[in-house]
């Protein structure tokens, strides 16, 4: 894509990933619960995510102009029988959000999923009060397929999640198939 590329994580990323893992404001938007992460467990986490896995991958989102690492994107629960996987994404700093970088990174992940890995369906969950994320996913072809009611705890309150997905043969994935749109 025009402004961003994806690459594997490395141990040299640990300062940034540690900061993001300890940012409660970022976790207000993420479905994963916030918990404090020590430097030691950050490095353990990174080593685990860098190791080869058949069921998940964690990638860095970087800016083409200066190679800055601005966020992470993952696939997990890769199902090689039904050819689907869950994705998740964040852009670490507010200053980098709302510039289309999230859309570009997700498009790169969808291309990798559909064209390199042979997956046919990518799904995610998002809080229903996160319009920027929902809009960013819709721009890539995701549609809302359902609601998980009172599913995830944030600040002591169980919140609703939207379940969104894109299938390779959806109209919204015409761009993946090279059919324009
Ligand atoms: C979600 C996230 C990855 C999206 O990436 P991004 O680069 O910020 O998003 P994009 O620029 O691709 O798209 C955002 C869209 O939402 C729109 N938007 C922003 N705020 C909005 C609002 N309050 N209501 C409606 N639309 C809104 C923008 O206008 C843009 O749409 P447009 O291109 O049609 O104008 C990024 O914002 C992020 O990391 N946020 C914090 C963590 C997070 O929410 N992660 C997702 C958890 S499921």
Question: Which tokens belong to 137?
Answer: 């996913």
Question: Which pLDDT score, from 0 to 100, does residue 180 have?
Answer: 64
Percent of the chain residues topping a pLDDT of 70: 99
Question: Which pLDDT score, from 0 to 100, does residue 166 have?
Answer: 98
List residues bridging with 89 in a β-sheet.
73
Is pLDDT above 70 for 181? Answer: no
Q: How far is the CA of 40 from the centre of ligand 1 (A)?
A: 32
Confidence band, pLDDT 50/70/90 cuts, at residue 1 = confident
Cα distances (Å, whole numbers) of residue 134 to 1, 125, 127, 165: 20, 10, 9, 11
**Average pLDDT for residues 90-96, to the nearest whole number?**
97
- Express each pLDDT in 49-88 by its tens digit: 999 999 999 999 999 999 999 999 999 999 999 999 999 9
**Domain architecture of the chain: domains with CATH:** 4-173 (3.40.630.30)
Kindly give, in sequence order, each residue whose CB lies less than 8 Å from that of residue 103, ignoring residues fewer than 6 positions away.
136, 139, 140
**Average pLDDT for residues 106-124, to the nearest whole number?**
98
Could you give the CA distance from residue 97 to residue 61 in angstroms, rounded to a whole number? 12
Is pLDDT above 80 for 102? Answer: yes
Pocket of ligand 1 (CB under 6 A): 26, 29-30, 89-91, 97-103, 126, 130-133, 135-136
* Ligand 1 pocket mutation, candidates 30, 34, 132, 139, criterion most atoms within 8 A of CB: 132
C-beta of residue 70 within 8 angstroms of C-beta of residue 96: yes
Phi, psi of 94 (to 5 degrees): -50, -40
Q: Residue whose CA is closest, atom 33 of ligand 1?
A: 100
């Amino acid at each position: 894509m025009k402004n961003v590329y994806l690459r594997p994580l490395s141990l040299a990323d640990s300062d940034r990933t540690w900061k993001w893992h300890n940012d409660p404001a970022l976790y207000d938007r993420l479905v994963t619960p916030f918990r404090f992460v020590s430097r030691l467990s950050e490095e353990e986490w990174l080593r685990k995510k860098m190791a080869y896995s058949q069921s998940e991958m964690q990638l860095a989102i970087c800016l083409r102009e200066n190679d800055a690492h601005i966020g992470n994107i993952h696939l997990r629960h890769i199902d090689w029988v039904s050819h689907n996987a869950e994705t998740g994404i964040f852009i670490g700093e507010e200053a980098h959000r709302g510039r289309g970088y999230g859309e570009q990174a997700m498009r790169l992940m969808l291309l990798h999923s559909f064209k390199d890995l042979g997956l046919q369906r990518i799904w995610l969950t998002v809080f229903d009060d996160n319009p920027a994320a929902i809009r960013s996913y819709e721009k890539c072809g995701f549609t809302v397929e359902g609601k998980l009611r009172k599913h995830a705890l944030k600040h002591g309150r169980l919140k609703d999640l939207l379940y969104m997905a894109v299938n390779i043969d959806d109209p919204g994935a015409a761009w993946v198939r090279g059919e324009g749109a």
